[in-house]
């Protein structure tokens, strides 16, 4: 693999892992990172953001947190320091080209009709295909200069919780345009930085839409900015109000919650409504053909075999789209699997077999996640999923020492530290 040209897009948790595992196999990938720093989402979060996953589950298998970090849920600064240390330790930092955004990609060398007809992935079931096809990446720097970078394999590690915000839609006359105040997405709030953000919310009536991580973090910051005694006290006294509602709309003074007659008077409305990670993947492709197949349809999951290989898109992998209970170590194990595959250690099944496998997972995700199946969460079957990757790599999925430990012990990153894929 040492002579192969590989491009990784993104230097977050997933991109770092992908680069580390390729370096270990003699490949010298180029990592394009749009930002000026690594760390992905951890580089641009609101000030009080910390891990929600306990620290022992959010670490690379062979790189424990430093002893000085004792918090169960380290904050975002500690996560950033940890990721920088990892990137330095394994020589990843030197491979990253910061301030380089990949604005589009095209597959050259083989016509789309031929690609669409392939029964084996990339024509022959191998990572780099038959040697004719390659990706041309259009890479832009901060000053707008553009270059074309050619790669025989691309790993998209562009994340799903950033970039393209998920903004609710409203009937005519009931959207943000009718509101006298300011409307922003959590992404813009996080980008502002602590000082500007707290100036903006100080003394204001803020309505936050959403109830997951970003929304709750911003609500806590509103409480801190306005009265440092905190979130729970403000809840008790009623200056933070929680409302449950299936829908809402805007009016001149603020937000109208379904079923209520008077509006929630607001100066600022912040959408903590998440992101469209699927659209981010789709937009990477220039060709209509790849765009039309890249992320499936609204009634299917994003079709990725082993949650990283699209059965019909050659010489490309996606890392970090599918969620789990602890995303870092899932990305790491996938990166290990991917490096082994790219090094010739795994032969992919036929395109049809991979598509059928994707459909099996889709059934599970629909049953388990209901209307949220597009998140492609391996969640409850996380260990089972890891077992699949281990078997593909020719490794024993039972990672613990002893029958009872394996039966009752909780699996975590450290169980995979000694996982060394078997060479054919
Ligand atoms: C607030 C918050 C808290 C979270 N907490 C947890 C947690 O506690 N536990 C957990 O398991 N997960 C958590 N997550 C999920 C988190 O997204 C993952 O854990 C992980 O950090 C994702 O890493 P990633 O590398 O896949 O993606 P990202 O971190 O999103 O990194 C993607 C990188 O790609 C770059 N990029 C994107 N597009 C391009 C392009 N076109 N060209 C070049 N570069 C590009 C971006 O700049 C970015 O650096 C949290 C997410 C958020 C937003």
6-162+276-416: CATH homologous superfamily?
FAD/NAD(P)-binding domain (3.50.50.60)
The correct CATH number of 176-271 out of 3.40.50.720, 3.40.630.30, 3.40.190.170, 3.50.50.60 is 3.50.50.60
Q: In terms of C-beta density within 10 A (0-12 exposed, 13-18 middle, 19 or more buried), how is residue 217 classed?
A: buried
CA of residue 301 to ligand 1 center, whole Å: 20
Separation of 280 CA from ligand 1 center, angstroms? 12
Q: How far is the CA of 104 from the centre of ligand 1 (A)?
A: 20
- pTM metric for this prediction: 0.93
pLDDT value of position 230: 64
Phi-psi region of 307 (alpha: psi -120 to 50; beta: other; left: phi over 0): left
- As a whole number of angstroms, the distance between CA 222 and CA 212 comes to 16
Q: Is 291 exposed, middle or buried (0-12, 13-18, 19+ CB in 10 A)?
A: middle
Rounded to the nearest whole angstrom, what is the distance from the C-alpha of residue 8 to the centroid of ligand 1?
14
- Do 176-271 and 6-162+276-416 fall under one CATH topology? yes
pLDDT of residue 376: 85
The protein residue with its alpha carbon nearest to ligand 1, atom 48, reads: 40
DSSP structure string for 137-192: EEEEETTS-EEEEEESEEEE---SSSSSB------TTSSGGG-SSEEEEHHHHHHH
pLDDT tens for 16-48 read 999 999 999 999 999 999 999 999 999 988 888
Per residue in 145-181, pLDDT (tens digit) is 999 999 999 999 999 998 899 999 999 999 999 999 9
High-pLDDT (> 70) share of the chain, %: 99
Å from CA of 16 to ligand 1 middle: 11
Which single residue is written with the structure tokens 């169960």?
Answer: 72
Q: Could you tell me if the CB of 29 is within 6 A of ligand 1?
A: no
Average per-residue pLDDT for the chain: 93
Q: Are 123 and 314 in contact (CB under 8 A)?
A: yes
The number of the ligand 1 atom at minimal distance from the alpha carbon of 190 is: 1
108-132 pLDDT per residue, tens: 999 999 999 999 999 999 999 988 9
pLDDT at 424: 56
Identify the pLDDT of residue 380. 82
Point out the ligand 1 atom lying closest to the alpha carbon of residue 16. 25
Q: Tell me, using a 6 A CB cutoff, whether residue 45 lines ligand 1.
A: yes
Residue 34 in contact with ligand 1 by CB distance below 6 A: yes
Q: Is 49 in the pocket of ligand 1 (CB under 6 A)?
A: yes
Which pairing describes strands 254-257 and 316-318: parallel, antiparallel, or unpaired?
Answer: unpaired
* Cα gap 283→295, rounded to integer Å: 10
| 53 CA: nearest ligand 1 atom | 8
CA of 149 to the centre of ligand 1 (A): 24
Give the SS3 label for residue 293: helix
Q: What is the pLDDT of residues 50-103, one digit of tens each?
A: 999 999 999 999 999 999 999 999 999 999 999 999 999 999 999 999 999 999
Question: Which residue out of 8, 11, 12, 377 has the highest number of ligand 1 atoms within 8 Å of its CB and is therefore the one to mutate?
Answer: 12
Q: What is the pLDDT of residues 192-229, one digit of tens each?
A: 888 899 899 999 999 999 988 889 889 888 888 877 66
Exposed/middle/buried for 318, CB within 10 Å: 0-12, 13-18, 19+? buried
Q: Which of 78, 109, 97, 90 is nearest to 37 (CA)?
A: 97
* 27 Cβ inside 6 Å of ligand 1: no
Reported as a pLDDT band with limits 50, 70 and 90, residue 423 is: low
Model pLDDT for residues 201-211, shown as the tens digit of each residue = 999 999 999 98
pLDDT at residue 214, as a whole number? 87
CA 259 to CA 380: how far, in whole Å? Answer: 35
User: Is 119:351 a contact under the CB 8 Å cutoff?
Assistant: yes
Burial grade of 337 (CB within 10 A; 0-12, 13-18, 19 or more): buried
Q: Where are the domains of the chain?
A: 6-162+276-416, 176-271
* pLDDT one-digit tens code per residue, 293-342: 999 999 999 999 999 999 999 999 999 999 888 899 999 999 999 999 99
Region 342-368 average pLDDT: 95
């Amino acid at each position: 693999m040492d002579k192969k040209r590989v491009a990784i897009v993104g230097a977050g948790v997933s991109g770092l892992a992908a680069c580390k595992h390729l370096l270990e196999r003699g490949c010298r990938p180029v990592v394009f990172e749009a930002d000026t720093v690594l760390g992905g989402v951890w580089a641009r979060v609101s000030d009080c953001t910390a891990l929600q996953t306990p620290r022992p589950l959010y670490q690379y298998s062979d790189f424990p947190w430093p002893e000085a970090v004792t918090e169960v849920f380290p904050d975002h600064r500690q996560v950033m320091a940890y990721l920088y240390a990892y990137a330095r330790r394994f020589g990843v930092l030197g491979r990253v080209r910061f301030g380089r955004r990949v604005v589009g990609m095209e597959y050259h060398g083989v016509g789309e009709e031929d690609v669409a007809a392939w029964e084996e992935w990339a024509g022959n079931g191998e990572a780099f295909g038959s040697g004719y096809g390659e990706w041309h990446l259009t890479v832009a720097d901060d000053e707008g200069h553009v270059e074309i970078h050619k790669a025989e394999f691309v790993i998209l590690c562009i994340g799903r919780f950033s970039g393209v915000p998920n903004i609710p839609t409203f009937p005519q006359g009931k959207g943000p345009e009718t509101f006298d105040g300011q409307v922003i997405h959590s992404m813009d709030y996080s980008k502002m930085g602590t000082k500007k953000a707290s100036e903006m919310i100080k003394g204001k009536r803020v309505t936050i839409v959403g109830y997951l991580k970003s929304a709750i973090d911003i609500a806590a910051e509103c409480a801190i900015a306005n009265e440092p005694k905190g979130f729970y006290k403000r809840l008790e006294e009623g200056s933070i109000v929680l409302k449950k509602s299936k829908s809402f709309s805007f009016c001149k003074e603020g937000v109208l919650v379904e079923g209520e007659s008077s509006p929630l008077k607001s100066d600022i409305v912040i959408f903590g409504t998440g992101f469209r990670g699927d659209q981010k993947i789709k937009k990477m492709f220039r060709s209509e053909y790849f765009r039309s197949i890249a992320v499936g349809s609204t009634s299917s999951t994003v079709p990725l075999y082993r949650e990283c290989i699209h059965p019909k898109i050659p010489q490309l992998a996606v890392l970090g789209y599918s969620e789990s209970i602890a995303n870092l170590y899932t990305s790491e194990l996938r990166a290990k699997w991917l490096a082994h595959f790219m090094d010739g250690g795994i032969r992919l099944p036929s395109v049809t077999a991979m598509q059928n496998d994707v459909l099996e997972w889709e059934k599970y995700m629909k049953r388990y996640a209901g209307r949220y199946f597009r998140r492609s969460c391996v969640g409850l079957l996380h260990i089972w999923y890891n077992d699949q990757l281990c078997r593909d790599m020719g490794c024993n999925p039972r990672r613990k020492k002893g029958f009872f430990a394996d039966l009752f012990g909780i699996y975590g990153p450290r169980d995979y530290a000694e996982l060394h894929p078997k060479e054919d």
